[in-house]
Amino acid sequence: MSQDIRPPCALTIAGSDSGGGAGIQADLKVFAALGVHGLSAIAALTAQNTRGVSAVHVPPVAFLRAQVDACFDDFRIGAVKLGMLATAEVIHAVADALASHQPPHVVLDPVMVATSGARLLQPDALDALRTRLLPLATLVTPNIPEAELLLDAGIHGSDEAEAALASLRALGARAVLLKGAHLDEGGQVVDRFDDGHARASFAHPRLPLEGHGTGCSLASAIAANLCLGKPLRDACEAAIGFVSQGLRDGLRPGRGDVVVLRYIPNG
């Protein structure tokens, strides 16, 4: 049998951001910056800029499935990153596709609300996300408000954040990276990791700015690192450092106050 020499690729199934700072556009920039070939299946189209989301269009799920199948039919996919999946119908279609193709890794960023505050997940889709996608996830990467929605419980401090890790894993994901930017922990942001065998905390200084697309970029960086063969914990730690640097080097390309991440090539 001949050896498969195709490099492992990263597939993002997410929404398009017309402003270029988040979603599919951010994911593909991250994949390229980390040296991984990026594939995309667009699950939603947003009319969006640095000041907000003005419209959302969800393509027919048959077309979404066609995009996903086309990618799996030709490429060796090492990891799938899931982002904005706006409706229950879309979530079920993606879950069916993943169950069929069985990629080695699935990184689920449970996108529910945009940085601007716009709701990106319909209320009836939350249960579908819990029951269909979480059990397929290698890793789920919620921020604090997303974790509160998933658990239907408040998280107001470090003790509750620690307790939430086990509760999130109990929903079905193999591992959790709970992002801590919404908690006040003394000038630091603490991201917490739990894979059922070990826990880790990754602390980094809080920057005096509001980032746009940080959650998308973090999940896609983890997916890229998994394609590169890094163990899950190491993939998370490396991605956190990568995104933190991208935020420090970020820019404000529009009239809004949010900072878009920028990745400066070495050398």
Residue among 90, 68, 107, 82 at smallest CA distance from 23: 82
Q: Which amino acid is at 214?
A: T
- How far is the CA of 255 from the CAs of 44, 167, 213, 251, in angstroms? 24, 40, 16, 11
Contact between residue 222 and residue 241 where contact means Cβ atoms under 8 Å apart: no
Q: What is the predicted pLDDT for the residue at 207?
A: 86
**pLDDT greater than 70 at residue 110:** yes
pLDDT confidence tier of residue 267, bands split at 50, 70 and 90:
very low
The confidence band for 194, taking pLDDT boundaries of 50, 70 and 90, is very high
Question: What are the sequence ranges of the domains in the chain?
Answer: 9-260
Q: Which overall architecture, per CATH, does domain 9-260 show?
A: 3-Layer(aba) Sandwich (3.40)
Task: Give dist(CA 35, CA 193) in Å, integer.
Answer: 25
Residue 89 banded pLDDT, cuts 50, 70, 90: very high
pLDDT at 224 over 80: yes
Q: What is the mean pLDDT of residues 113-129?
A: 73
Amino acid at 202: F
Give the three-class secondary structure for 147.
helix
Q: In this model, does residue 265 exceed pLDDT 90?
A: no
Per-residue confidence band for 114, with pLDDT thresholds at 50, 70 and 90? low
Which has more pLDDT, 33 or 264? 33
Reading the block at residue 245, the tokens are 């640097």
Structure token digits, residue 142 = 């919620």
3-state helix, strand, coil in the chain (%, to 5): 40, 25, 40
Single-letter code of the amino acid located at 69? D
Reported as a single tens digit per residue, the pLDDT across 157-193 is 999 999 999 999 999 999 999 999 888 877 889 999 9
